[in-house]
Amino acid sequence: MLATAQFMVIMDTSIIAVALPDMQDQLGFTPSGLQWVFNAYAVALGGLLLLGGRLSDLWGARKVFAAGWGVLTVGSVVAAAAGDAGTEVVGRAVQGVGAALLAPAAMTLLMVLFAGQPKELPKALAFYGAAAPAGGTAGVFLGGVITEWLTWPWVFIIYVPIGLLTLALTPRLLPAVPGRPGGLDVGGAIAVTGGLALAVYAIVQAPERGWTSTATLLSLAGAAVLLLAFTLIQRGVRNPLMPLGVWRTPDLAAANLAMLLLGAAWIPMWYFLNLYVQQVLGFGAFASGAALLPMTALMMVLMTTTSGRLIGRFGTKPLVVVGLGVLALGLGVLATADPGGSFVADVLPGSLISAVGMALVFIPATMAAIGGVAPERGGLASGIVNTTYQVGSALGLAAMTAVANSRGGDRLGDVVALTDGYSAAFVAAGVVALGGAVLAAVTLGRRKAADRADVALVD
């Protein structure tokens, strides 16, 4: 059930991919505004994950896990019933709130179940991590099937029966984890979520307003002030969302930086590749879902069958460095896409190379981030690494959308201009991935996963 939660959280990001053009047509999204179907979810999820982890500690992981599913189900109803762009964004944000509650609670339950089992923990984390690409694979395929033969609201409606069934089974299948007394850092939660949302909004609006316009500079300054306030709040409150001492954990900061840049490169690749397939190559909804399936299926297979063994043999650092480099290579190949191209020549090679890169990075970087913390801080470390990935995803997509639109990515119907814009976004994302590889090579330590597990037992 815990892996299923991870599966559904990630599926909620990928299942919308094929439906985006239909949503744009029917709900009136602008080319730059369309990204908020993803970003509203990512910002709410990333901004509230730490709060979700803290609530899991205070109220008990199983209770928060169930509450998260309830909120996610409500958000799905709102998103499915939306008749305009604004309501759709609200529904997606509510879904993100639900995911922010259930994801860290699921990780806390996982860490509790495998506490004292250092040999089994990497296997459990690999299985849990593999649920992410499995969700991505299912989301892409189901999104194509649903959009082709039903209508786009059904990509959200399917969450309703799943959510209700999960709520019914949770008390029977998951152990009750008692909460711990303590306070709730509401001010910190407001500051970090507001700062992240304002930063994404500033980057999204910058191409129209101008990067040096007063509105853009004020928005960026406001985001910086809120994020600084969050840091100061963490220093001053008795029960912070993110105790700053956790950053003394070996490799936590370096691994989170790698995850930040991974999200900033991977999600724009997935987003613009889907648009290229539909808006340039002219694929229908089902064909688009099928076109992205080899990439996500390869990721799932590699994570399931090879990640654990590679981590045990080489450690996490080489995999993160090489994986980000391979992802950069795949993005470089995708950047050569042609307006009159084909799936075999312009989509398949670059997407498969990128999938190999993602598969090499995701689980090792997660292990590097959480492997050195004590079991009782597993939820916090998980919340931090998931936050950085979602923040990187939202900021990266906002930035790459600005890059794409500056090169013609907003000229619907002009396949040459669209291709130029999407290629520019692929190049920029590739630079981010390559920069991530260099930084990981410099900052990550060389200890293997087993060493981190031993540290977790004595921390």
Q: Which residues of 211-228 are buried (b: 16+ CB within 10 A; e: fewer)?
A: eeeeebeebbebbeebbe
Quick one: 178 and 99 in the same domain? yes
Query: Mean pLDDT per segment of 10 residues, for the chain of length 459 residues?
Result: 67 73 86 79 77 79 88 94 92 91 78 64 63 65 77 88 84 71 76 82 76 88 92 83 75 87 89 85 78 81 79 86 95 92 90 92 83 63 77 82 82 86 94 94 69 37
Question: Are 24 and 99 within one domain?
Answer: yes
133 shares its domain with 226: no
3-state secondary structure of 239: coil
User: Are 112 and 210 within one domain?
Assistant: no
H helix count then E strand count, the chain:
18, 0
Contact between residue 430 and residue 335 where contact means Cβ atoms under 8 Å apart: yes
Does the global pTM surpass 0.85? no
3-state secondary structure of 19: coil
Same domain, 286 and 257: yes
Are 283 and 344 contained in the same domain? yes
| In the block, residue with structure tokens 């509230």 | 48
Domain match, 153 and 133 both: yes
Q: Quick one: CA dihedral 380, 382, 386, 392, positive or negative?
A: positive
Instruction: Work out the number of other CB atoms within 10 angstroms of the CB of residue 410.
Output: 18
Pair (283, 147) in one structural domain: yes
Of 118, 110, 117, nearest to 53 (Cα)? 110
pLDDT at 453: 41
- Name the domain boundary from 238, 267, 300: 238
Other beta carbons within 10 angstroms of residue 173's beta carbon come to 10
pLDDT value of position 73: 93
Instruction: Give the C-alpha separation, 274 to 448, whole Å.
Output: 36
Helix segments in 28-158, DSSP class H: 36-59, 61-81, 85-113, 121-149, 154-157
Structure tokens at 283: 């694929």
| Pair (210, 147) in one structural domain | no
For residue 443, what are the domain limits? 2-184+239-458
Tally of domains within the chain: 2
- Name the residue with tokens 């900021």: 395
Output the domain CATH number for residue 131.
1.20.1250.20
Task: Give yes or no: residues 221 and 349 share one domain.
Answer: no
- Cα angle value 326/99/67 (rounded, 5°): 155
The conformation of residue 373, written as its DSSP 8-state character, comes to S
Instruction: Please name the residue that has the structure tokens 């040999």.
Output: 119
Instruction: Examine the domain organization and report whether 206 and 275 are in the same domain.
Output: no
